[in-house]
Structure 1
Amino acid sequence: MSVTETARAAMPRSEGAAFLLSALAAIFWGTNFEATRIALLEVPPWTAASGRFIFAAATILLWLWVTQGSGLRALRRNAPAFMLLGVVGVAGFNAALFLGMRSSSPVTAALIMGTSPLTTNLLDALIGRRFPGVLALVGMAVSLLGVALTVGAFSGARFAAGDLLILIGSFAWALYTIGCRRWVKEASPLETSAWTMLFGALALLAAAFSFEAPVGAAAAASGTAWGATLWMALIGSVLAYLFWQVGIAVRGPGATSVLFNLVPVAALVTAALFGRMPDLSQMAGVAVAIFGVLLASGRLTPAPAHR
């Protein structure tokens, strides 16, 4: 049996195991926001972002080599697309996240990113010159209402500059998602993620050396900052991706994508575990935003009866 066949045979095939793993993936992504806050206490943003993805890219490239081979054929076919998607979807998204987290809160950041499936659908409709459905537009409005409630906009607070940066990052992630589907040819999801992650890591590293002193910052960082960075790289990036792919393979993308709503919930719970208790408006905002996502995705409308 080949290495690839062994890996496929080891994949959980039951719905319950796949559901659990994809739910864990969303939870892991939700913990990234608090880990980012902790890392930024000691490490500047470009250095923290590049450190995360250097570790993540090295690990996922090793996983690619073990399970599917080198992936060089896919790279030769898609090198320009991989480079562009890596710069936009990995470097751009994470630069916006790490820079934005200097003034945004983990819960707000996670909630803004939690609307990315809606952003992706709306952008895809515009690129394809299709008018978005009414439910999609209503759901987006409800989700933005939830975000506004979370940041306290109705009590006189304003969106922080970091919140707007993270919103820009969510658009970068939406473009990455659309681009992977439209521009990448004959490459597996693991190959696409590995190569775009590598190019994104290289772009972030170049920015770190241009704007900061990453070697000195990394040497001066404590074990806590290193632990937060490694958590984001190995748990919040590599494992989260692999578990999510199991869910898609076994349960399908539609059934799996709804679990993305656990991301802001996990961010809220993680913040509470670190002593940052959310207030009622934040919890209400998360609930309203999730309701908007479910509404837009059609999860709250009854399926047509079969005759």
Structure 2
Amino acid sequence: MLLGLFAVSAFSLTLPITRYLTEFLSVWEIGLGRTMIAAVAAAVVLVATRQKLPNRSQTLRLLVTASGISFGFPVLTAVGMQTVPASHGGIVLGALPLSTALIGTFLSRERPSLQFWMVSVAGFVAVATFSFITHGGMGMDLYMGDLALLGAVVMAGLGYAQGGQLAKTMGGWQVICWTLVVSLPILVLPTLALIDWGHLEALSPTAWGAFLFLALVNSLIGFFFWYRGLAIGGIARVSQAQLIQPFLTFFFSVLFLGEAFSLTALGFTVLVVAIVVLSKRTPITEKAAQASTAAMGTAAR
């Protein structure tokens, strides 16, 4: 859980840093550029540590992971934000921990209890309620962008869950490094085509520092801790740490962007932290353990 919370803290800085960088770079330059830098750094790490190539099965699963976290989530989110207000989108993206846990149950042997699912849904409801209150409520009209955002939630959940499963055999940092490397051939052409190098040359040292933090910490190093946490703590349980992410993003925005502080946000943060702690205490079993217990019972009889 500590590893997961550390990673979520890093991920929570994505929105404030991206908002700052939009004054200097386009959305595509930020999104593709940061992934490209992270992929090159990941390749250097893999070569320096002499990691062996993943086998065919692992490569296919790495491609699945890359489809979610390297392409699906950022692209679909960008599409959704063209037609959906950010406050409405925040409600939809609040389902990400639930998506990760749900997909994780299909990819792993984890079988969360009914109590766990009840706590998970309660966490999503808390995030959605916070978004409604802080943004003045939203109507019930459906937006076309909802489909894109729901797809983004599914793709990110798939990337997180598949990566967490792979980390059990490959290691957390190896998973994100190989995920970025297998994305590299697909990234090169669109990145070179869409980046205006004049924009990069004009960046101040502060902007370059923010851009590199986004690329090397949020897109690479943060996943070292995230995937390791999912591997040793369980995908379903540790993924609930993501419920805190919207609130950490809020506080980082207050700190770095000067946005107004809200006691409502503080109150909901305490509530969501309590939900995460509660989710950690709910029972989660594994099919392997259940099968072993059944076999022992049969042998005894």
Q: TM-score, normalised by structure 1?
A: 0.68
TM-superposed deviation, 1:234: 1.6
Q: Does 1:172 find its partner at 2:172?
A: no
Give the C-alpha shift of residue 32 in structure 1.
1.4
Structure 2 residue aligned with 1:120: 100
Q: Which of residues 156, 161, 164 is equivalent to 2:137?
A: 156
CA distance in 2, matches of 1:293, 1:96: 27
Q: Is the 8 A contact 1:144 1:289 kept in 2?
A: no
Distance 1:201 1:65, change over 3 A: closer
CA deviations on 1:78-116 (whole Å, 9 max, x unpaired) are 33332333123321122234555676659x75x865653
Aligned equivalent of 1:94: 74
Structure 1 residue 225: deviation in Å? Answer: 4.3
Change in 2 beyond 3 A, CA 1:227/1:160: farther
Task: State the Cα distance separating 1:178 from its structure 2 match.
Answer: 3.3
The one-letter code sitting in structure 2 at the alignment partner of 1:172 is M
Q: Which of 122, 126, 137 matches 1:142?
A: 122
Uncovered stretches (5+) of structure 2, i.e. residues with no partner: 284-301
Distance (whole Å) between structure 2 residues aligned to residue 119 and residue 91 of structure 1:
17
Whether contact under 8 Å (1:35, 1:232) holds in the other structure is: yes
Matching residue of 1:194:
177
Aligned residue number for residue 71 of structure 1: 52
Q: Pick from 215, 233, 241: which aligns with 1:253? A: 233
Larger deviation, residues 162-171 vs 122-131: 122-131
Distance (Å, rounded) in 2 between the aligned partners of 1:293 and 1:214: 40
- Report the Cα distance in structure 2 between the residues aligned to 1:130 and 1:22, rounded to whole angstroms: 18
CA distance in 2: counterparts of 1:50 and 1:112, whole angstroms: 23
How far 1:185 moved relative to its partner? 9.8
1:235 equivalent in alignment to 2:217: yes
- Which structure 2 residues correspond to residues 17-36 of structure 1 after superposition, within 5 A? 19=2, 23-36=5-18
Note the C-alpha offset of 1:35: 1.0
The percentage of counterpart residues that share the same residue type is 22
Q: CA distance change for structure 1 residues 286 and 171 in 2, over 3 Å: closer, same or farther?
A: farther
Residues 136 and 104 (structure 1 numbering): CA distance in 2 closer, same or farther, change over 3 Å? farther
Amino acid at match of 2:46: L
Question: Which letter does structure 1 place at the counterpart of 2:170?
Answer: A
Bigger drift between 24-33 and 94-103 goes to 94-103
After the TM superposition, which residues 199-214 of structure 1 pair with which residues of structure 2 at under 5 Å, given as runs? 199-208=182-191, 213-214=194-195
From 39, 51, 58, the counterpart of 2:33: 51
Q: How does 1:276-287 map to 2 (within 5 A)?
A: 276-287=259-270
Out of 20, 32, 35, the position equivalent to 1:38 is: 20
What is the TM-score when the length of structure 2 is the normalising length? 0.69
Question: Structure 1 residues 205, 269: closer, same or farther in 2, change over 3 A?
Answer: farther
Which consecutive residues of structure 1, in runs of 5 or more, have no partner in the other structure?
1-17, 302-307
- Contact 2:116–2:282, Cα closer than 8 Å, also in 1: no
Contact 2:99 2:154 in 1 (8 A): yes
For residues 161 and 118 of structure 1, do their structure 2 counterparts lie closer, same or farther at Cα, with a shift above 3 Å needed? same
**In 2 relative to 1, CA 71–96 (structure 1 residues): closer, same or farther, beyond 3 Å?**
farther
- 1:215 and 2:196 matched: yes
Q: Which residue of 2 aligns with 1:5?
A: none
User: Does the 8 Å CA contact 2:172/2:228 hold for their aligned counterparts?
Assistant: no
- Give the conservation status (yes or no) of the 8 Å contact 1:145–1:289: no
- Flag the 1:121–1:278 CA change in 2: closer, same or farther, 3 A: same
Instruction: Give 1:172 shift.
Output: 0.9
Aligned letter for 2:250? L
Instruction: Tell me the alpha carbon deviations over residues 177-226 of structure 1, each in whole angstroms, 9 at most, x when there is no partner.
Output: 3334668996333332112112335445544567xx31357447533543
Question: For residues 83 and 173 of structure 1, do their structure 2 counterparts lie closer, same or farther at Cα, with a shift above 3 Å needed?
Answer: same
Q: Does 1:268 align with 2:212?
A: no
